[in-house]
Amino acid sequence: MRDGSGRCDKHKRVERQQLDERRGTAHERGYTSAWQRARESFLAKHPLCRKHNDDGRIEAATVVDHIKPPRLKDAIDSGDQARIAKARALFWDRTNWQPLCKPCHDHKTATEDSAFARRRT
């Protein structure tokens, strides 16, 4: 079955698997136990979704979003120490974090940060 993307279901699955393999695991992308502790601390201090709050609505934040994606795994894969250091610094820079609810995070990721969004621009 096709959805207008030009690819059948079988080929869409293969493409998704290839993207997932390049993306790496959460741990490979920096989301370690240290991240989980920092995330919990940040959400305790910033419990409301920034996007909803900006719209005058209240929704609990459940995700800590990197405003500018650090692309840590890409940097590590490059082997470039300066790039790795820059990505790590961006990853841990709390001024680059924002509290979001999952739907807002998923929307932002799909429209701004994902490989699909980057490919469209």
Determine the pLDDT at residue 54.
84
Report which of 25, 1, 28 is spatially closest to residue 13, judged by C-alpha positions.
Answer: 1
Determine the pLDDT at residue 1.
45
> When comparing pLDDT for 103 and 20, which is higher?
103
57 in a structural domain: yes
> When comparing pLDDT for 114 and 11, which is higher?
11
- pLDDT for 26 beyond 50: yes
- pLDDT for 118 beyond 60: no
Task: For residue 99, give the H/E element and its range.
Answer: strand 97-100
Determine the pLDDT at residue 116.
52
Q: Please tell me the pTM assigned to this model.
A: 0.74
Average of per-residue pLDDT across 87-109: 96
d(CA 112, CA 121): 10
Average of per-residue pLDDT across 98-110: 94
Q: How many domains does the chain have?
A: 1
Determine the pLDDT at residue 53.
81
Q: Which residue range forms the structural domain that includes residue 52?
A: 31-120
Determine the pLDDT at residue 75.
94
22 in a structural domain: no
115 in a structural domain: yes
75 in a structural domain: yes
